[in-house]
Amino acid sequence: MHHKLLFMSTPIGSLGSGLGGGVELTLSNIAKEMLRRGHEVKIVAPQRSISNSLPIKEIPGELQIPAQNQTRTDPIFIPKNSVLANMWDYARQVQANYDLIINFAYDWLPLYLTPFFNTPIAHLISMGSLTDTMDHIIEQVANQFPGTIGVHGKTQSATFTFADKCKCLVNGMDLSVYQFCSQPGSCLAWVGRIAPEKGIEDAVAAAKITGIPLKIFGLIQDVPYWEKICQDYPDAPIEYRGFLPTDELQQELGQCRGLLVTPRWIEAYPNVALESLACGVPLISYRRGGLAEIVQEGKTGFLVEPDSVEGLVEAIKHLDEIDRQACRQQAETLYSLEAMGDRTEEWFQKILKK
């Protein structure tokens, strides 16, 4: 049974800008896999999105502010000429051409609009509980349209009072893009948007203490934050490698002995962790959010007391105990496009059956 699917991207950045973080990769991966399975897919995203052969409808308008920068009680901010509002006005106009709309935005408007649409809408909620308005509107849709709220992991859904109403999709990616590397160099790695919620200063501190060089990959989203870290740790053995396209990232990441993951907040299911495992690179991560479900303690990495730099330093000493093949194996078993495609397609079918 083939379906016509309309994918609504995140309004905080155009696809390929890196501003959308992991959800950009998640959307592209699911779109690629649904196309491979014979479904029709159209992606709606802010203008200047990079399509790399995916069918994209670009929408103009002002970007939405990132939800993680808001307080729990902030009201919803909708800018004049909001790209989010323009995207959903487009969806309203074309909805009759589609069997299912899949919303990838962590925003109030798409959830509020759900009952106004004739075409069913599946919401892939990409983060844990952040604001009261989002919690409230997600719960409302979860109650009114059972089974339409998808999340990535258990620790993420556990941040909501309605965890039992969330469908766990885990995550996945195109493993063929990631080469397994069995013989790494001497460096450690850190990958992600360079912003306060990502806690990169702890990884830099661990590099300074251990003297092991740290390669840093990702978009410098918060420049003052990054500059302060460089001032605070002038002699830390770090090298900023930039925001690399996936192919170059995996090439360099694979050469690393381990990936340090230092989230300050509940990361739902960080793609970087899956990418690292796919390259055979063990994870050293705070026991927080999706990482707590991803890391197989002592087998594919180590979980560390949150915010403990000493814990990172201690775990780094044990990196050589990890069999890098086991990391790749975990990715192939759980995070292949095939495995994610099965989970996602089953979610879509269930919604369409109703």
Binding site for ligand HBI (CB under 6 A): 10, 12, 20-23, 64, 66-68, 105-107, 126-127
Q: Which residue has the tokens 């460096």?
A: 187
CA distance 173 to 331: 9
CB of 164 to ligand HBI, least distance (A): 22
CB of 190 to ligand HBI, least distance (A): 17
Burial of 222 (C-beta count, 10 Å sphere; 0-12/13-18/19+): middle
CB of 101 to ligand HBI, least distance (A): 15
CA distance 174 to 36: 12
Distances in Å between the Cα of 334 and the Cα atoms of 143, 249, 331 are 29, 21, 5
CB of 267 to ligand HBI, least distance (A): 8
Task: Find, among 160, 108, 104, the residue nearest to 129 by Cα.
Answer: 160
CB of 70 to ligand HBI, least distance (A): 8
CB of 20 to ligand HBI, least distance (A): 5
Rg (CA), the chain: 20
Specify the residue, 68 or 159, whose C-beta has the smaller distance to ligand HBI. Answer: 68
CA distance 217 to 214: 10
Specify the residue, 12 or 351, whose C-beta has the smaller distance to ligand HBI. Answer: 12
CA distance 103 to 27: 10
Specify the residue, 111 or 313, whose C-beta has the smaller distance to ligand HBI. Answer: 111
Specify the residue, 21 or 341, whose C-beta has the smaller distance to ligand HBI. Answer: 21
Specify the residue, 192 or 258, whose C-beta has the smaller distance to ligand HBI. Answer: 192
CB of 142 to ligand HBI, least distance (A): 18
Residue 270, token pair as written in the block: 């960080």
Which residue of this chain has its Cβ atom nearest to ligand HBI in the complex?
Answer: 21
CB of 104 to ligand HBI, least distance (A): 7
Give the rounded distance of the alpha carbon of 271 from its chain centre: 5
CA distance 17 to 249: 15
Specify the residue, 21 or 150, whose C-beta has the smaller distance to ligand HBI. Answer: 21
Specify the residue, 68 or 296, whose C-beta has the smaller distance to ligand HBI. Answer: 68
Specify the residue, 20 or 199, whose C-beta has the smaller distance to ligand HBI. Answer: 20
Distances in Å between the Cα of 145 and the Cα atoms of 103, 142, 149, 150, 164 are 14, 5, 8, 12, 14
Three-state DSSP state, 212: coil
Residues 6+ apart with CB under 8 A from 136: none
